[in-house]
């Protein structure tokens, strides 16, 4: 049967969604003889496997059939209480468990936000370069993207205001602005306090919802800590968190903090329609793990590991890349963003690198228009230091 038989039956939203570069990359990382700086994978040595094994057994003994039963959409109440408590302790945020919805990774949160907030053609703002998983999730709902260039310390405020103002004047105000202020994916950049405050004041001035996505904030290994932008305006924002980078991505557990009751109900209903609830077995295991171990100590170990890997990659890039290639120096998270000389294609470099058994993500999918770019993303967390040195040396030789 012809493979394309059903293409003419696909919905407009499906046709508007670009196929995932991530999937192609993840496929590439499956090969053993390849050095991959491509995926955004945590280092598997950071997975607390023995502790999770103990928790899996303990929850069955403790809770019995409940861990195998259907459960409520918003998630396990005790896990939501734990998250509210940690946000209070670490960030001084006043959140109650009812304002938290557990999601199937923060990726699901992005999809639910698109589903609940975007009508076709609605204006939304995001960073450029931006998280490709967000571009993909939102694309399904066919918004008008306004990508605001990211500077070394956050979104360019003048360009952001220009968009917010123009859309307001034309009576189609921007619905929401999506941002990853800590160790952004793909750039590794972090917003300064000044840019955080500026962003918040613009959100308030133009009545725009702030979507603050923070998968990497805990993985901070340098610099001063910053507070959440949404802390100062919780009712006008949605905060996203995840356990993917600090415990394990395979359990697919993240969360949304939503103060606004109408928005929360809409998200909860959309989630109910999507999957009834996130994996309850995983939620019990996670709760048990978090309450029987010192998670802050565990995270500190990950930070030390990633700091070393990041430093190794930066030193190797300084040694093996030509001076014309510039790159970011992250204070945390998982990625370095490199910019090649003007006019050079990172996609072509990618093809050559792949022939040499080393891969990264060319910049293209991080732009909403998918343009040919001279930028690329390198992940340092899932390769040994030897592999980092060898891989960077190989890429350097291609210049
Ligand atoms: C900025 C950002 N948001 C969301 C996600 C999705 O994470 P998860 O669904 O594993 O929680 C990622 C994953 O890499 C990310 O980088």
Q: Please provide the average confidence, as pLDDT, over all residues in the chain.
A: 94
Confidence label for 21 from pLDDT (cuts 50, 70 and 90): low
Find out whether the beta carbon of 106 lies less than 6 Å from any atom of ligand 1: yes
CA of 106 to the centre of ligand 1 (A): 6
Confidence label for 224 from pLDDT (cuts 50, 70 and 90): confident
Q: Look at residue 368 in the predicted model and tell me its pLDDT.
A: 92
Which of 236, 269, 292 is where one domain is finished? 292
Looking at the structure, tell me whether residues 240 and 132 fall in a common domain.
yes
Assigned domain for 2 exists: no
Confidence label for 121 from pLDDT (cuts 50, 70 and 90): very high
Looking at the structure, tell me whether residues 341 and 357 fall in a common domain.
yes
Q: What is the pLDDT of residues 171-193, one digit of tens each?
A: 999 999 999 999 999 999 999 99
Find out whether the beta carbon of 381 lies less than 6 Å from any atom of ligand 1: no
Confidence label for 26 from pLDDT (cuts 50, 70 and 90): low
CA of 341 to the centre of ligand 1 (A): 29
Q: What whole-number distance in Å separates Cα of residue 255 and Cα of residue 25? A: 26
Which of 292, 318, 334 is where one domain is finished? 292
Find out whether the beta carbon of 129 lies less than 6 Å from any atom of ligand 1: no
The percentage of residues in the chain with a pLDDT greater than 90, rounded to a whole number, is 87
Q: What whole-number distance in Å separates Cα of residue 268 and Cα of residue 103? A: 10
Confidence label for 202 from pLDDT (cuts 50, 70 and 90): very high
Q: What whole-number distance in Å separates Cα of residue 367 and Cα of residue 353? A: 22
3, pLDDT greater than 70: no
**Burial class of residue 54 in the structure, from the number of CB atoms within 10 Å of its CB (0-12 exposed, 13-18 middle, 19+ buried):** middle
Looking at the structure, tell me whether residues 215 and 260 fall in a common domain.
yes
383, pLDDT greater than 60: yes
The answer to whether the CB of 55 falls within 8 A of the CB of 292 is: yes
Atom of ligand 1 nearest to the CA of 243: 11
Looking at the structure, tell me whether residues 265 and 304 fall in a common domain.
no
Structure tokens at 297: 């100590």
4, pLDDT greater than 70: no
Find out whether the beta carbon of 248 lies less than 6 Å from any atom of ligand 1: no
Atom 6 in ligand 1: which residue has the minimum CA distance?
107
Looking at the structure, tell me whether residues 240 and 127 fall in a common domain.
yes
Q: What is the pLDDT of residues 243-278, one digit of tens each?
A: 999 999 999 999 999 999 999 999 999 999 999 999
Q: Single out the residue of 314, 286, 301 nearest to residue 378, CA to CA.
A: 314
CA of 134 to the centre of ligand 1 (A): 9
Q: Among 75, 127, 131, 379, say which to mutate for ligand 1: greatest number of ligand atoms within 8 Å of CB.
A: 131
Q: Among 113, 185, 250, say which to mutate for ligand 1: greatest number of ligand atoms within 8 Å of CB.
A: 185
Assigned domain for 104 exists: yes
CA of 215 to the centre of ligand 1 (A): 6
Rounded to an integer, the average pLDDT of 215-231 is: 91
Q: Look at residue 7 in the predicted model and tell me its pLDDT.
A: 84
What residues make up the domain containing 24?
7-47+297-398
Q: Look at residue 371 in the predicted model and tell me its pLDDT.
A: 83
CA of 356 to the centre of ligand 1 (A): 29
Looking at the structure, tell me whether residues 118 and 210 fall in a common domain.
yes
Assigned domain for 270 exists: yes
Assigned domain for 252 exists: yes
User: Count of domains in the chain?
Assistant: 2
Q: Look at residue 377 in the predicted model and tell me its pLDDT.
A: 97
Give the least confident one: 26-30, 123-127, 287-291, 384-388: 26-30
CA of 230 to the centre of ligand 1 (A): 18
Looking at the structure, tell me whether residues 183 and 318 fall in a common domain.
no
CA of 239 to the centre of ligand 1 (A): 13
Looking at the structure, tell me whether residues 206 and 221 fall in a common domain.
yes
Looking at the structure, tell me whether residues 162 and 229 fall in a common domain.
yes
Length of the chain in terms of residues written: 399
Q: Among 39, 104, 106, say which to mutate for ligand 1: greatest number of ligand atoms within 8 Å of CB.
A: 106
Rounded to an integer, the average pLDDT of 58-71 is: 97
Give the burial string for 197-232 (b: 16+ CB within 10 Å, else e).
ebbbebbeebebbbbbbbbbbbbbbeeeebebbbbe
Chain Cα centroid distance, residue 212:
10
Atom 14 in ligand 1: which residue has the minimum CA distance?
40
Atom 8 in ligand 1: which residue has the minimum CA distance?
105
């Amino acid at each position: 049967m012809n493979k394309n038989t059903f293409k003419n039956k696909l919905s407009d939203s499906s046709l508007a969604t670009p196929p995932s570069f991530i999937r192609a990359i993840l496929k590439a990382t499956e090969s053993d003889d390849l050095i991959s700086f491509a995926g955004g994978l945590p280092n598997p040595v950071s997975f607390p496997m023995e502790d999770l094994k103990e928790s899996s057994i303990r929850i069955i003994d403790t809770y019995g059939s409940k861990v195998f039963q259907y459960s409520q959409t918003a998630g396990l109440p005790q896990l939501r209480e734990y998250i509210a408590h940690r946000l209070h302790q670490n960030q001084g945020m006043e959140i109650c468990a009812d304002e938290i919805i557990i999601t199937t990774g923060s990726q699901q949160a992005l999809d639910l936000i698109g589903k609940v907030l975007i009508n076709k053609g609605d204006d939304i703002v995001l960073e450029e370069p931006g998280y490709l998983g967000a571009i993909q999730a939102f694309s399904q709902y066919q918004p008008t993207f306004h990508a605001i260039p990211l500077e070394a310390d956050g979104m360019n405020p003048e360009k952001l205001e220009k968009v917010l103002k123009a859309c307001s004047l034309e009576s189609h105000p921007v619905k929401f602005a999506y941002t990853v202020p800590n160790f952004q994916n793909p750039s590794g950049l972090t917003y300064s306090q000044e840019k955080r405050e500026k962003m918040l004041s613009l959100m308030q001035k133009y009545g725009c919802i702030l979507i603050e996505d923070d998968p990497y904030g805990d993985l901070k290994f340098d610099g001063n800590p910053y507070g959440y932008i949404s802390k100062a305006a919780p009712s006008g924002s949605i905060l996203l968190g995840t356990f993917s980078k600090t415990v394990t991505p395979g359990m697919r557990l993240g969360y949304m903090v939503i103060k606004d009751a109408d928005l929360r109900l809409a998200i909860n209903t959309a989630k109910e329609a999507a999957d009834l609830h996130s994996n309850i077995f995983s939620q019990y295991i996670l709760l048990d793990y978090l309450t029987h171990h010192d998670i802050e100590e565990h995270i500190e170990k990950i930070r030390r590991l990633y700091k070393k890997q990041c430093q190794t990659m930066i030193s190797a890039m300084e040694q093996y890349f030509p001076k014309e290639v510039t790159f970011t120096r992250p204070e945390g998270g998982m990625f370095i963003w490199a910019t090649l000389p003007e006019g050079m294609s990172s996609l072509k470099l990618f093809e050559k690198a792949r022939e040499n058994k080393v891969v990264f993500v060319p910049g293209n999918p991080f732009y909403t228009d998918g343009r040919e770019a001279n930028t690329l993303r390198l992940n340092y967390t899932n390769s040994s230091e030897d592999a980092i040195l060898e891989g960077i040396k190989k890429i350097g030789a291609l210049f």
